[in-house]
């Protein structure tokens, strides 16, 4: 396909994207003051809802009981991984390196536990308070009772996904008792489909891209007034579920004595697919922690949908296929050709920039993280490591002893051992020939 020459003239890096060249794009609108569609109050409303549901989650999902039903992941210092990173690169990383291990989030083992589960909780609360007798001051563990299971069985929840959002929505919605349907694109891994079906979820498979599947799912849900569709391309509830991460990370930074100010910048590296989860997290970080925490999105060179949308300011009006890319990547959770309707608009002034990477890189980081820290993540969750070198090269001020670098590991805890071995072996082979 011929790339629009006007677009290339106006935004020269579009040509690099079209030729699958890894880039660092710095957002020229970063830090400007503009009205936003959400506020800190919206985030605190979401925090309160999570807390109301904690007794239910602790009962329905015993793996959350030790955290009293709160779904959160650890912030892990990566000293050994940092030593390995420094061995691999000509310039050392001067500041501290950490992993925000959303790969270890309970229930679905990914960042989607934040947004996907949250939207299901909000829908369940709406049904329970309007069609049942739940009131806000009740102990929400009552929602695990047979009475409410029967009530929820009259309603449906559906979602389209390349994988991890399907797991979070599917497992929780089916546990409530909702008739749950997941629409999955060709990128979805078989083990994720098997896991969903084992949990009583109806899985509809399509041999096409996520961007083609989501309108089918949306239209099917629209035909049934009792079905709630979770829209990965534009849901406010998903977005605010992710944003709660800002409140949680603020406490973790304080507990680990990590300063965040002009002299102590914090860099957060977030893998981006449709862009909803990293955008929600970024909104939460900027709203709660402030101007000195900076988010960088990381995308495959074959599917840089959010980068392309933000760079051209066309957002969801342009897809990677419009510039001749094939949209194929080993990072299944990032295989989305057209970005969220929300992502670009809200990130216009909040995103520092983005980086694109080749798939080989993420496999190498999967293996190194396992070798150094004994932490296993899925390939897309290692994407954040690819952004560190280009960011500190382009912005030397971020490579000081006072800086903190946080790689957001978005998934991997639920991977079958067979999948882990394959990914690890791929990375090992690449490192041997590196």
Which residue range is the domain that position 72 belongs to?
5-38+66-107+242-432
pTM of the prediction?
A: 0.96
For 210-269, write each residue's pLDDT tens digit: 889 999 999 999 999 999 999 988 999 999 999 999 999 999 999 999 999 999 999 999
Q: What is the mean pLDDT of residues 89-105?
A: 97
The verdict on residue 55 lying in a domain is no
**Residue 327, pLDDT above cutoff 90:** yes
DSSP code of 274? S
Q: Please choose, from the candidates 44, 136, 100, the residue with its C-alpha nearest in 3D space to the C-alpha of residue 382.
A: 100
Per-residue tokens: 429: 């082979």
387 and 311 share a domain?
A: yes
Reported as a pLDDT band with limits 50, 70 and 90, residue 434 is confident
**Residue 106, pLDDT above cutoff 70:** yes
272 and 382 share a domain?
A: yes
182 and 254 share a domain?
A: no
Reported as a pLDDT band with limits 50, 70 and 90, residue 1 is very low
- CATH number of the domain where residue 160 is located: 3.40.50.1100
123 and 232 share a domain?
A: yes
The verdict on residue 86 lying in a domain is yes
246 and 234 share a domain?
A: no
Distance between CA atoms of residues 179 and 404, nearest Å: 44
User: What is the model's pLDDT at position 433?
Assistant: 85
Contact indicator for 182, 158 with CB cutoff of 8 Å = yes
The verdict on residue 94 lying in a domain is yes
* Total number of domains in the chain: 2
424 and 290 share a domain?
A: yes
**Residue 2, pLDDT above cutoff 60:** no
**Residue 4, pLDDT above cutoff 80:** no
Reported as a pLDDT band with limits 50, 70 and 90, residue 162 is confident
**Residue 425, pLDDT above cutoff 60:** yes
Q: What is the mean pLDDT of residues 292-302?
A: 98
The verdict on residue 230 lying in a domain is yes
Share of the chain above pLDDT 70, in %: 99
294 and 373 share a domain?
A: yes
Q: What is the mean pLDDT of residues 151-169?
A: 94
Q: What is the mean pLDDT of residues 315-321?
A: 95
Q: What is the mean pLDDT of residues 21-45?
A: 97
Chosen domain end from 204, 238, 272: 238
Chosen domain end from 238, 260, 285: 238
Torsion angle, CA of 199/200/206/210, rounded to 10 degrees? -50
Distance between CA atoms of residues 15 and 124, nearest Å: 46
Q: What is the mean pLDDT of residues 45-70?
A: 97
**Residue 54, pLDDT above cutoff 50:** yes
The verdict on residue 407 lying in a domain is yes
**Residue 150, pLDDT above cutoff 90:** yes
């Amino acid at each position: 396909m011929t790339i629009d020459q006007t677009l290339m003239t106006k935004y020269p890096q579009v040509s690099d994207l079209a030729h699958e060249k890894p880039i660092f794009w710095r957002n020229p609108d970063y830090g400007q003051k503009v009205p936003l569609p959400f506020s800190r109050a919206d985030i605190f409303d979401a925090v309160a809802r999570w807390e109301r549901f904690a007794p239910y989650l602790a009962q329905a999902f015993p793996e959350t009981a030790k955290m009293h039903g709160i779904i959160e992941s650890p912030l892990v210092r990566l000293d050994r991984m940092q030593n390995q990173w420094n061995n691999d690169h000509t310039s050392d990383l001067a500041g501290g390196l950490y992993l925000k291990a959303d790969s270890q989030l309970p229930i679905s083992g990914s960042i989607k536990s934040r947004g996907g589960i949250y939207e299901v909780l909000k829908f369940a609360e709406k049904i329970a308070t309007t069609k049942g007798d739940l009131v806000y001051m009740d102990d929400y563990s009552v929602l695990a009772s047979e009475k409410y299971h029967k009530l929820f069985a009259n309603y449906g929840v559906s979602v389209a996904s390349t994988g991890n959002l399907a797991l979070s929505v599917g497992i929780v919605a089916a546990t409530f008792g909702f008739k749950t349907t997941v629409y999955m694109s060709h990128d979805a891994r078989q083990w994720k489909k098997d896991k969903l079906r084992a949990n009583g979820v109806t899985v509809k498979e399509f041999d096409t891209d996520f961007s083609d599947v989501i309108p089918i799912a949306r239209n099917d849900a629209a035909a049934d007034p009792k079905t709630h569709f979770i829209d990965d391309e534009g849901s406010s509830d998903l977005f605010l579920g992710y944003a709660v991460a800002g409140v949680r990370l603020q406490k973790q930074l304080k507990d680990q004595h990590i300063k965040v100010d002009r002299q102590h910048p914090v860099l957060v590296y977030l893998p981006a697919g449709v862009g909803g989860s990293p955008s929600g997290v970024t909104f939460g970080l900027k709203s709660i922690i402030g101007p000195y925490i900076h988010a960088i999105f990381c995308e495959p060179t074959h599917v840089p949908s959010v980068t392309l949308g933000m760079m051209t300011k066309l957002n969801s009006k342009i897809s990677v296929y419009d510039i001749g890319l094939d949209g194929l990547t080993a990072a299944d959770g990032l295989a989305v050709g057209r970005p969220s309707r929300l992502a670009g608009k809200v990130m216009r002034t909040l995103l520092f920039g983005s980086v694109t990477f080749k798939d080989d890189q993420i496999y190498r980081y999967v293996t190194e993280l396992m070798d150094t820290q004994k932490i296993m993540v899925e390939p897309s969750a290692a994407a954040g490591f690819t952004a560190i070198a280009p960011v500190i090269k382009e912005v030397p001020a971020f490579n000081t002893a006072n800086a903190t670098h946080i790689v957001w590991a978005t998934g991997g805890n639920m991977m079958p051992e067979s999948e882990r071995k394959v990914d690890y072996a791929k990375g090992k082979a690449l490192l041997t020939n590196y």
